[in-house]
Structure 1
Amino acid sequence: MAGHSKWANIKHKKGKQDAVRGKIFTKFGKALAVAAKEGGSDPEHNAKLRDIIAKAKVQNMPNDNIERAIKRGAGELDGSHYEEIVYEGYGPGGVAVIVEALTDNKNRTAGDIRHIFDKNGGNLGTSGCVSFLFDRKGQLMIERSHDIDEDELMMLALDAGAEDFVVEEEGYEIVTDPNEFGTVREALEKEDLSFISAEVAMIPTTETSLTPEDIKKMQKMLDMFDDHDDIQEVYHNWSMPEDME
């Protein structure tokens, strides 16, 4: 997998999130509520909740918002009940796309997602049609800094249980088994390290390049997914150019 694509994708995603911060917090609120409902409101005993809290804090979500969402999921506050659904399909040029959603209306969300695929030269597929092209991994991205000693960071990450440590021009990518993600993240946090991205993600094993015309369609598709309140995450195997904003 070309290293520059990951960083370009993060930069693109960050730009969108900065522009719609309130919408991002709403999406995290849903995810926190579902995690609390499924595994309890104590992050010490709910690894999924703990990881979502960490991810929300990377995006500077206020603690009050986080606590309210957790209480809502635990039944201490009124709120809607959401269901997790994963959709798979193909974008323009045959790009593999996975969409993770939280919804209180499956029919509405499925229809909206199908429309977004169709409108941008793609099509919604069946479960499993593209997921075999991805590996589920913990992924922590740290920007290069004069304050970070590369060798020390590598040893810290590997000693904590990381599977891989990748050095790239923009910074460092630390890859973990999903079950070890929280342990590795916490070990790095204790050293006052900050992340530009920290999540359990679907990482593509192969990538697809697009023509300029299909790039426009793919960008439009990703923007439409980002703007949809029910959609939490979108993963794809498009080899996004390094200069994408």
Structure 2
Amino acid sequence: MKKHARLQDRPEIECTFNVIGPAGSFFIVEAETDNKKAFENTMRKYFNKVGGFRFASEASAVQSWFQQKGVLTVKAELKGKPVGLEQMEEVGIELDCEDVVLIESGDRTFELLCQPDRLSDVEHKLTSKG
């Protein structure tokens, strides 16, 4: 019981690890932990089991290859009828989305891409449209 109380008192630390993997792949691992060093050691252990991974010495070395985006995945219907890609693109333009992608044509699932700080606004406006 005392150990549980001590764990609750420890603050969570947000940390980011930049990893270079096999075949020129890049990974950004974002985590919340109470012990950054222990978490890093655990990750190293698992990456070493797989092989071909190493931690980048500079954060910018990996992060420069990524863009942070807000992504909404929706199954689109309007009054019980499926929505086409053109209709969804019009909605995306109205909502100031960067891109609209049809990811599954069978059930009309779309991804709307926007700036991360606009994600909740786009979601709210999309919900209010029905």
Return closer, same or farther for 1:139/1:123 CA change in 2, 3 Å cut-off.
same
2:93 to 144, 147, 158: 158
Gaps of 5+ in 1: 1-77, 193-245
SS of residue matched to 1:133: coil
Alignment of 1:217-236 (within 5 A): none
CA contact (8 A) 2:10 2:34 kept: yes
Query: For 1:1-245, what aligned pairs fall within 5 Å after superposition?
Result: 80-121=10-51, 122-126=53-57, 127-143=59-75, 147-150=81-84, 151-170=86-105, 171-192=109-130
For normalisation by structure 2, the TM-score amounts to 0.74
Report the AA paired with residue 12 of structure 2.
Y
Q: Which has the higher strand share?
A: 2
* 2-structure distance, mates of 1:162, 1:133: 22
Q: Whose helix fraction is larger, Structure 1's or Structure 2's? A: 1
Distance 1:132 1:159 in 2: 30
Aligned equivalents of 1:184, 1:144: Cα separation in 2: 15
Compare relative contact order (CA 8 Å, sep 6+) and give the higher one, 1 or 2.
Answer: 1
CA RMSD across the alignment: 2.2
1:89, 1:114 → 2: CA distance? Answer: 10
Query: Displacement of 1:184 after TM fit?
Result: 0.7
Which has the greater radius of gyration? 2
Q: CA deviation at 1:85?
A: 0.6
Q: For structure 2, which runs of at least 5 residues remain unmatched after alignment?
A: 1-7
Q: Contact between 2:18 and 2:63, CA under 8 Å: does it hold in 1?
A: yes
Consecutive aligned runs of 4 or more in structure 1 exceeding 3 Å deviation = 143-148
Count of residues in correspondence between the two structures: 115
Identity %: 25
Does structure 1 retain, via aligned residues, the 8 Å contact 2:88–2:100? Answer: no
Tell me the distance in 2 between the aligned counterparts of 1:166 and 1:179.
20
Q: Which amino acid in the other structure matches residue 96 of structure 2?
A: G
